[in-house]
Amino acid sequence: MKVVANGLLEKISGPADLKKLSIEQLSDLAQELREAICKQVSTSGGHLAPNLGVVELTIALHYVFDFAHDRLLFDVGHQCYTHKLLTGRQPLLSKLRQKNGMAGFPEPRESHYDLFSVGHAGTSVATGVGMARADSLMGQGDRCVVSLVGDSSIVNGVSLEGLNNAGTLNRQFLVVLNDNGMSIAKPEGAVSKYLDQVRVNKAFGDLKKNTKRLLSEIPMGNQLERLYERAGGAIRGALHPHHLFSEFGLVCVGPMDGHDLPALIQMFEQAKNFDRPLLIHCKTIKGKGFDFSTKDPTTFHSPSPFEVERGKVEWKKKGRSFTAAFGDALTSTMQKDERVVAVTAAMPDGTGLSKVSPHFPKRVFDTGLCESHAMDMCAGMAKVGIKPFFAVYSTFVQRALDQVFQEVALQSLPVRVCLDRAGYVGSDGAVHHGFMDLNLFKPFPGIVMLAPSDEPNLIAALEFMRMYDSGASFMRYPRDEVPSHPISEDVPPFQLGKAHLVRRASSEKPDLAILAYGTEVYEALKALQNMGSEASNVALYDARFAKPIDVDLVTRLVRSETPILTIEENMVSGGFGSSVLEALNSRNLPTNSVHLMGMPERWVYQNSRAGQLAEVGLDAAGIEQKVRSLMVQIQRPRRKQVKRDFRVIEAQS
Amino acid sequence: MKVVANGLLEKISGPADLKKLSIEQLSDLAQELREAICKQVSTSGGHLAPNLGVVELTIALHYVFDFAHDRLLFDVGHQCYTHKLLTGRQPLLSKLRQKNGMAGFPEPRESHYDLFSVGHAGTSVATGVGMARADSLMGQGDRCVVSLVGDSSIVNGVSLEGLNNAGTLNRQFLVVLNDNGMSIAKPEGAVSKYLDQVRVNKAFGDLKKNTKRLLSEIPMGNQLERLYERAGGAIRGALHPHHLFSEFGLVCVGPMDGHDLPALIQMFEQAKNFDRPLLIHCKTIKGKGFDFSTKDPTTFHSPSPFEVERGKVEWKKKGRSFTAAFGDALTSTMQKDERVVAVTAAMPDGTGLSKVSPHFPKRVFDTGLCESHAMDMCAGMAKVGIKPFFAVYSTFVQRALDQVFQEVALQSLPVRVCLDRAGYVGSDGAVHHGFMDLNLFKPFPGIVMLAPSDEPNLIAALEFMRMYDSGASFMRYPRDEVPSHPISEDVPPFQLGKAHLVRRASSEKPDLAILAYGTEVYEALKALQNMGSEASNVALYDARFAKPIDVDLVTRLVRSETPILTIEENMVSGGFGSSVLEALNSRNLPTNSVHLMGMPERWVYQNSRAGQLAEVGLDAAGIEQKVRSLMVQIQRPRRKQVKRDFRVIEAQS
């Protein structure tokens, strides 16, 4: 990747340095930023195309506003690299998305220029409305508030609720709509069709002649007309009275070219002084700057490391992901059962459904970034007798919690939910971990929660879900590769609430029984293998179900005085192990020989996934350590043949 | 209340009977329905004004469609009484919202004419889209799908996401917008202003002359124009090309008079055959039919029993509610601290904020039915240094789970959330219980969860929240009256994670320690009082905090071999008691003498709140029974001086 020699970027240690440049120099700076970003992402992976699309928008915003004082809110936030490089974080770039490096999303711990750590879409308007109201209450209404929102985020329910409220503000509030005509994949939904058809108004300096007349014909026209008189020439010239969002009470201008730096700067200058909510619709090109990324912005949305050799992109080899395994397994399921359909909320690639849709174009539905709607749509489908499989990230299904409550669980509808990226997600960091899906969905009567430990189990789990019609079922799997050598290629079918013994202890009376949920089965197996004969008398179960848990098994183990270790990649509080405690307690059985491992109650920031598992002791090494300490603890009283009572237990602690 | 003598209603045992009536007779039927509904609600309480507003709409829909085959989806659902009375449920009316009587919301267990049990807003478009897609896939695309949505629901994020997706359907799909210009209270938001300003097109039979011209001027005009040619005369005549929802891809007609039965029937007849998504905007009058209810639709939204004597409404006396106590306490808090503001999502009356706003009109914010936005707005406010108190029902805060995760907890922002209607809610039934707020919010690092047992404790809890700045705090209280004789008027301040001893045991070594969370303190107290001297050696603690729990206390109790009984009005699985188990287990302390009481894992349907508590054993009688059985269990082994081991415990179970 060639780097331009101007050296403008390296001189910018904060927005003040940016403001010293002439408007002409800004184009060169944009080019330098693009090359720096592309060079880094090609080395480490990261979000590429979204960042390339907003270089000019970000430069222009920082050129016009002062975000040490004013408020800049990112939405989703995977387009914040230029912003970070302009606000003093060039030294962190070489460790993009790595431990102690530059987070891939806005991160207030890094800089006060980042207001919220975000990664979920649609929040910037709503938080911006809050900041605007609070600034005004605090007598600092002169601070401008700017939300930078993508065209896919804007159709999310939270955005739309935010716009409805923004429309009532009696003060400055600027929404910059970054419309690249692309969600993460090609977007779905009527609004995106609408935005596609709105043409760029290149010559927005020329007053559109009929604007005033049109203003008087629409319901809120009088109000708009008054605002029109107060607006600067650029705003008046680009006014779009029939824009979708005008009817939400915002003054709407554009669309304008989101790469035209002088025009953007002129528009933002006027927007800064406009005392009512304003939406500037900017058309941008996702991936702008490089042929390979503009041609295929979906692939280059968030690529893994790559090289560009003579215009051809080379990818570093990777193993087979759970996502890919799921895509293939679901394709088979759909071949077998014509009632099965697949649903995604704007993540066909991330969830593996892009492997499915070529086979079944009419049975794969993309709702756009609308998780709440997607869950309800699935409920409606299930009501009719269709079998919807909603593939969604664990962290994003949080947006559909209430829909799972009312439209799915309360109706006992057999919606199937496949939670990708459950557990630690690596470099995306704290905004994306799937750390609490068990907590969220366990409370609902009749819901089944299961997890495969490897690809053969994923196939078996999916078959269980296809056949399970009594209520909703939730399967979870991590952002990881499937074990390349599964314990067995031919696993027994999933049976409701039954664990599966994967490694027998050497005697009838095991020293310890491990119940691992999901891929922790393999971490536990590695730990036991590393321990060799020391651990030969430890049994290992693939728990398979976190709800209902295998009560017979845990009861039997406790009654036979076999200590239990539960391991899961969910919060330890309120997760699978906690259900084991509750089940034993409610049966008046003791829990002192039950030990829980899971995700601790703290935020875990960007790092590799392996690094994160190690950080919290959920890798093979951490499990080995835990098993060793338990063996000491367990064997000591047993050797002494001491009756267990309160005092003995205290002494152990 | 006089009843008309026509006797049309009593002859209708299903929609087939309705279809036998002439259009002229339908007005009389409407009158009979209004009187039947009003008579019942004045006796038993229930939703009045919303039901009075949709009588004609519902009659017309059932007159035109066949909802044994077609699909009718209610939104929120508190306007379903006419629908229920027309679909065979007149015999249930006299037990409206009572056990085994007519549910106040749509309820599939009652009738196949009810597709979803709903109570939360905004879901009907999304579930309707799902049913429409699934019906088409199943080869039964001839089934019409109709969503009846209120103007307050339509601005909810789920609705808007649904509309964005509905706009892409290539088949019949009808949204009837019931626009009464009222949410539960007077609505907020730009969209409601917009709808206010759209005038009723009374003579929609006359083709609006400029419709065709206007169609060509808007971005999706060509498409609309083609649809225009296909539409019947009534639709063409009422076409509204600049309607907000046109830009979501729906053909929009109206507004029309939602009480004009012949016009509604004519319009629905054509809508039935229209093969694209269509929105019919109907203006209705909330509370229509009675002077008292049209004049004050907010009070008569969901009144308690009343009598109308000579035009004056008399209310049955009620005690002081937690809601009222909260309203007063928050008013004091706001007097003391000018940084405190209050936020509601369309529930100023239900949450007690209507008591606050006259004192602080500029510091009370109503976001409309937008819980997700409201939570994010609070996050934005807290970021600036304002102290937002978001008053919201426990069941509705489920809509803001993901916002609590990302915008509140992950940022450690001190947003204060006051959860009204936590626990069983009585006659609203399963759609409204606050049964899982502990499960939802406990997983987040740094979040504090507390509950007052009575009004003095509520005041103290609120003061704690005002001062607590390290993170978010969530307080919960039930839909109930405050204890009229609190244990003490002067309670000690809340101290983070500290329980409060409210009743000492008679000896240094209590037989049992009860840790009750929230108002269960009073149920436990009553139980102990009823037991007299038998229970004199039982201690009772007001737990106050479910997160963090009082670890010192429970550790001390277990170490001193004092059995513990936890009582809470949250799911027993994953709630307060479960945290006690986890805390002990993680400290290697035994849990066999810890006993948990809480809400069971099953749906609890409409009944009085007292009846629901009794049903699940969370009233004084249930607690008394539990304490008695524990005393037997506890005292038996102690008297025998048997060492506790596994076998003894098994024998007890």
- Beta bridge mates, A564: A513, A594
> Using CB atoms, which residue from A370, A445, A652 is nearest to B161?
A370
Give the span between the Cα atoms of B125 and A584, in whole angstroms.
Answer: 43
The neighbour count for residue B217, using CB atoms within 10 Å, is: 14
Q: Chain B contacts of A431, Cβ < 8 Å?
A: 406, 410
What b/e string do you get for A572-588 counting C-beta neighbours within 10 Å, with b at 16 or more? bbbbbbbbbbbbbbeee
Q: Which of A268, A261, A314 is nearest to A288 (CA)?
A: A261
Q: Which of B311, B292, B378 is nearest to B343 (CA)?
A: B378
**Tokens (6 digits) for A372:** 């709440």
Q: Are A301 and A49 in contact (CB under 8 A)?
A: yes
Q: Are strands B500-503 and A448-450 parallel, antiparallel or unpaired?
A: unpaired
Q: Does B399 qualify as catalytic in the annotation?
A: yes
Amino acid at A130: G
Min distance A328 CA to chain B CA atoms (Å): 22
Q: What pLDDT score was predicted for residue A227? A: 77
DSSP state of B199: P
**Chain A, chain B: beta-carbon pairs less than 8 Å apart:** 424
CA B532 distance to own-chain centroid: 39
pTM: 0.94
> Using CB atoms, which residue from A198, A218, A399 is nearest to B402?
A399
- Give me the residues of chain A with pLDDT under 50, please: 1-3, 203-207, 640-653
Question: What are residue A500's phi and psi, to 5 degrees?
Answer: -130, 125
> Do B581 and A579 count as a contact with CB atoms less than 8 A apart?
no
Render B573-639 in DSSP notation, one character per residue: TTSHHHHHHHHHHHTT---TTEEEEEE-SS---SS-HHHHHHHTT-SHHHHHHHHHHHHHHHHHHHH
**Tokens (6 digits) for A347:** 């993540």
Mutate to test the interface with B, among A75, A127, A217, A509 (most CBs of B within 10 A): A127
> Do B133 and A405 count as a contact with CB atoms less than 8 A apart?
no
Which residues, other chains included, contact B546 with Cβ-Cβ below 8 Å and sequence gap of 6+? B438, B442, B449, B450, B451, B517, B568, B570, B575, B576, B579
Task: Give 10-residue mean pLDDT values along chain B (653 residues).
Answer: 70 97 96 96 93 97 98 96 98 96 97 98 97 97 97 93 93 95 68 73 49 66 74 81 82 91 95 94 93 89 82 77 98 98 96 97 96 98 98 98 98 98 97 98 97 98 98 98 96 98 97 98 98 97 98 98 98 98 97 97 97 98 98 69 41 40
Peptide bond into A548 cis (omega under 30): yes
Q: Chain B contacts of A218, Cβ < 8 Å?
A: 242
Question: What are residue A313's phi and psi, to 5 degrees?
Answer: -90, 130
Which residues, other chains included, contact B164 with Cβ-Cβ below 8 Å and sequence gap of 6+? A155, A189, A190, A191, A368, A370, A373, B248, B249
Among residues B32, B56, B371, B624, the one annotated as catalytic is B371
Task: Give me the interface pTM, i.e. the ipTM.
Answer: 0.94
Burial of B310 (0-12, 13-18, 19+ CB in 10 A): exposed
Q: Which runs of E-coded beta strand occur in B496-537?
A: 500-503, 512-516
What b/e string do you get for B409-448 counting C-beta neighbours within 10 Å, with b at 16 or more? bbbbbbbbbbbbbbbbbbbbbbbbbbbbbbbbbbbbebbb
Q: What pLDDT score was predicted for residue B637? A: 59
The neighbour count for residue B632, using CB atoms within 10 Å, is: 10
Give the span between the Cα atoms of A486 and A615, in whole angstroms.
Answer: 25
Q: Chain A contacts of B557, Cβ < 8 Å?
A: none
Q: Express each pLDDT in A128-154 by its tens digit.
A: 999 999 999 999 999 999 999 999 899
Amino acid at B198: V
Burial of B507 (0-12, 13-18, 19+ CB in 10 A): exposed
Give the span between the Cα atoms of A322 and A45, in whole angstroms.
Answer: 19
Peptide bond into B548 cis (omega under 30): yes
Give the span between the Cα atoms of A108 and A621, in whole angstroms.
Answer: 33
| Ordered alpha helix ranges (H), A495-575 | 520-531, 551-559
Q: Are A218 and A211 in contact (CB under 8 A)?
A: no
**Tokens (6 digits) for A292:** 């390979």
Query: B343 to each of A506, B375, B385, B416, B450, how far by Cα in Å?
Result: 62, 9, 15, 10, 19
> Do A161 and B160 count as a contact with CB atoms less than 8 A apart?
yes
Q: Which runs of E-coded beta strand occur in B319-362?
A: 340-344
> Using CB atoms, which residue from A442, A596, A645 is nearest to B574?
A442
Catalytic residues of A: 286, 371, 399
> Do A645 and B649 count as a contact with CB atoms less than 8 A apart?
no
Render A583-625 in DSSP notation, one character per residue: HHHHTT---TTEEEEEE-SS---SS-HHHHHHHTT-SHHHHHH
Amino acid at A272: K
Helices B371-384 and A124-137 cross at an angle (nearest 10°) of 50
> Do A130 and B586 count as a contact with CB atoms less than 8 A apart?
no
Q: Does B286 qualify as catalytic in the annotation?
A: yes
Give the span between the Cα atoms of A387 and B108, in whole angstroms.
Answer: 20
Q: Are B173 and B201 in contact (CB under 8 A)?
A: no
Q: What pLDDT score was predicted for residue B540? A: 98
Q: Does B383 qualify as catalytic in the annotation?
A: no
Min distance B16 CA to chain A CA atoms (Å): 23
Q: Express each pLDDT in A309-360 by its tens digit.
A: 666 777 777 799 999 999 999 999 999 999 999 999 999 999 999 999 999 9
Min distance A467 CA to chain B CA atoms (Å): 18
Side-chain-side CA neighbours of residue A333 (13 Å): 28
Give the span between the Cα atoms of B118 and A118, in whole angstroms.
Answer: 32
Nearest residue in A to B376, CA atom: A127
Question: What are residue B219's phi and psi, to 5 degrees?
Answer: -50, -45
Give the span between the Cα atoms of B327 and B350, in whole angstroms.
Answer: 10
The neighbour count for residue A138, using CB atoms within 10 Å, is: 15
Nearest residue in B to A131, CA atom: B380
Residue with tokens 């600034």: A135
Local structure of B406: helix, strand or coil: helix
> Do B439 and A440 count as a contact with CB atoms less than 8 A apart?
yes
Give the span between the Cα atoms of B180 and B242, in whole angstroms.
Answer: 20
Min distance B442 CA to chain A CA atoms (Å): 8
Give the span between the Cα atoms of A439 and B441, in whole angstroms.
Answer: 9
**Tokens (6 digits) for B155:** 């601005």
CA B305 distance to own-chain centroid: 20
| Ordered alpha helix ranges (H), A311-470 | 322-336, 371-384, 401-403, 437-441, 455-467
Q: What pLDDT score was predicted for residue A213? A: 64
Query: A586 to each of B232, B332, B577, B591, how far by Cα in Å?
Result: 64, 43, 11, 10
Local structure of B306: helix, strand or coil: strand
Q: Chain A contacts of B586, Cβ < 8 Å?
A: 596
Min distance A619 CA to chain B CA atoms (Å): 20
Min distance A179 CA to chain B CA atoms (Å): 16
Amino acid at B177: L
Tallying the residues shown for chain B, one arrives at: 653
Burial of A531 (0-12, 13-18, 19+ CB in 10 A): middle
Q: Are A97 and A46 in contact (CB under 8 A)?
A: yes
Helix (H) or strand (E) holding A64: helix A55-64
Q: Are A488 and A359 in contact (CB under 8 A)?
A: no
> Do B168 and A193 count as a contact with CB atoms less than 8 A apart?
yes
Give the span between the Cα atoms of B43 and A189, in whole angstroms.
Answer: 47
Please give the torsion angle defined by the CA atoms of residues B75, B79, B85 and B90, in that order, rounded to the nearest 10 degrees.
110
Mutate to test the interface with A, among B105, B158, B413, B565 (most CBs of A within 10 A): B158
